[in-house]
A and B are shown apart, each in its own frame.
Chain A
Amino acid sequence: MNYPEDLKYAENHEWARLEADNRVRMGISDYAQDALGDVVYVELPELGAKVAQGDPFSEVESTKSLSDVYAPVSGSIVEVNDALEDHPELVNASPYGDGWFCVIAADDPSELDSLMDQAAYAATLD
């Protein structure tokens, strides 16, 4: 399993990366994609939708189960990964790269401080 050091992690296994202009890119962790098994569908939020930290705002369906995805920060959806529509398997193949879910324009990027760093997240999985 791989947990990059430059990301923050939520207890429900989302990752978040702070980029320029308070934009936060997010997806699900390597642990999550592995536990779900083959991802066959990702329901992404609408562009412009408002989300609140900790609220379910997206769904990921695998051959095994349907799971909620929770917003790592509050804000508005400014980008979604349209490639997942035809290629949900990108979530398995590249959870931190091409398998990203969306970008949230964060209302308050300091909310990310409440998430775990790599070491803390990895420790919860032991």
Chain B
Amino acid sequence: MPQSPIHAVHEAEGARFVDFGGWTMPVQYSGVLAEHAAVRENVGIFDVSHLGRFEVAGPHATDVLRQQLCNDITKVEPGRAQYTMALNERGGVEDDIIVWRLEKDRYWVMPNGTNSDEIVARFRAGVGAETTVEDIRDSSVLFAVQGPKAADVLETVLGVVPGRFRIIDAEYRDTMVIAAGTGYTGERGAEIWAPLSVASGLWMDLRAAGATACGLGSRDTLRLEMGFPLWGQDLDEDTTPLEAGLGWVVAWDHDFVGKDALLAQKGNLTKELVAFTTEGRAIPRHGYEVTTSSGSGVVSSGNFSPTLGHGIGMAYVSPPMGDEDTLTVTIRKDRVPGTRVTLPFLDR
């Protein structure tokens, strides 16, 4: 099973590992709650080298991205990043993706690790001879530095701090690395691409500058507090961005795979994602059943919110809930009332 290029560093850090999307990656070091708090209050670092990354370049690269992805990459200038999705013809989400627009016609596309091979293949099948599609995952690492004090760490180690969704080159030990002001936690910070030659040193220098080592366990509780979807739980091939409440990711003024299906569905949803909280420490979890005044559903993601101190969850319900409808979640044998809320759970 593939693992991080700096797996040995994580072992030395005392990490525990988990199989995630076919990769063996750190799930925790000191503990999920401590790591979660470090990111919310201070700064943490995640190794997210399992995430896919491939370059699409050439004179028609922009057209390829506009056709393959439902957001419109021309809405952002070179030097900026965008959140987008690859849909199937039914409008279902094959993957949600971050794109770095490095130059006018040169992009780094970053799918989820578990979907990377399929998305690379999809792009390769969809381009002509003048467009190159090159998988660059195995020759690099990707670290996320996140938290209110992330800027201090980035300044110390890289000498630069990217703004939100900005991409900047930086020099580290005479080697070029790239930092983008993105993440998956709701905090300020950056995701840093670096070649393998400097990977271990960069991790250790970012740690030495004050970042707490964090695993995928706290990454999951952090993203859930922000209501960010996890592909495979909150998004999948049978769910459209409209059903997921992510209509803002769809740019309607261009053609893309899945657009016809979305147009047909617009204003006529049969299921929708709702967010809810539970009182006390009874915790909704993935797969638990939900009952609404007018229908039913299933929890797609749920956990204990370390910051809020109670349960939080997202569920797909059918039919969509009316304003007056109430919701309960079945936690073991008990039907626990849920309070519907708008995302994010945590203001940032």
Q: Closest CB-CB distance, B220 to chain A, in whole Å?
A: 9
Residue of A nearest to B28 (CB): A37
Q: Closest CB-CB distance, B82 to chain A, in whole Å?
A: 31
Distance of A67 Cα from B57 Cα, bound (Å): 50
0/1 string, B276-311, CB within 8 A of A gives 1: 000011110100000000000000000110100000
0/1 string, A33-64, CB within 8 A of B gives 1: 00001101100000000000000000101011
Q: Closest CB-CB distance, B330 to chain A, in whole Å?
A: 13
Q: Which of A37, A38, A41 contacts B282 (CB 8 A)?
A: A41
Distance of A66 Cα from B303 Cα, bound (Å): 10
Q: Closest CB-CB distance, A67 to chain B, in whole Å?
A: 11
Distance of A63 Cα from B306 Cα, bound (Å): 9
Q: B49 at the A/B interface (Cβ < 8 Å)?
A: no
Range of interface residues on chain B?
10 to 19
Q: Closest CB-CB distance, B1 to chain A, in whole Å?
A: 20
Q: A89 at the A/B interface (Cβ < 8 Å)?
A: yes
B304 touches A40 (CB 8 A): yes
B33 touches A61 (CB 8 A): no
A63 touches B285 (CB 8 A): no
A66 touches B304 (CB 8 A): no
Q: Which residues of A contact B303 (CB under 8 A)?
A: 63
Q: Closest CB-CB distance, A66 to chain B, in whole Å?
A: 7
Q: Which residues of B contact A41 (CB under 8 A)?
A: 280-283, 304
Q: B232 at the A/B interface (Cβ < 8 Å)?
A: no
Known: A41-B282, A41-B283, A89-B33. Is A64-B304 also a contact (CB below 8 A)? no
Range of interface residues on chain A?
10 to 19
Residue of B nearest to A63 (CB): B32
Distance of A65 Cα from B81 Cα, bound (Å): 35
Q: Which residues of A contact B332 (CB under 8 A)?
A: 59, 66
**Which B178-217 residues have C-beta < 8 A from chain A?**
217
User: Besides the contacts A38-B33, A40-B283, A64-B217, what 12 more A-B pairs have beta carbons closer than 8 Å?
Assistant: A38-B34, A40-B281, A40-B304, A41-B282, A59-B332, A61-B283, A61-B304, A63-B33, A63-B303, A63-B304, A64-B32, A89-B33
Q: B residues touching A (Cβ–Cβ < 8 Å)? A: 28, 31-34, 217, 221, 280-283, 285, 303-304, 306, 332
Would you mind naming 27 contact pairs between A and B with Cβ atoms under 8 Å apart? Answer: A37-B28, A37-B31, A38-B31, A38-B32, A38-B33, A38-B34, A40-B33, A40-B306, A41-B280, A41-B281, A41-B282, A41-B283, A41-B304, A61-B281, A61-B283, A61-B304, A63-B33, A63-B217, A63-B221, A63-B306, A64-B32, A65-B285, A66-B283, A66-B285, A66-B332, A88-B281, A89-B33
Q: A residues touching B (Cβ–Cβ < 8 Å)? A: 37-38, 40-41, 59, 61, 63-66, 88-89, 92
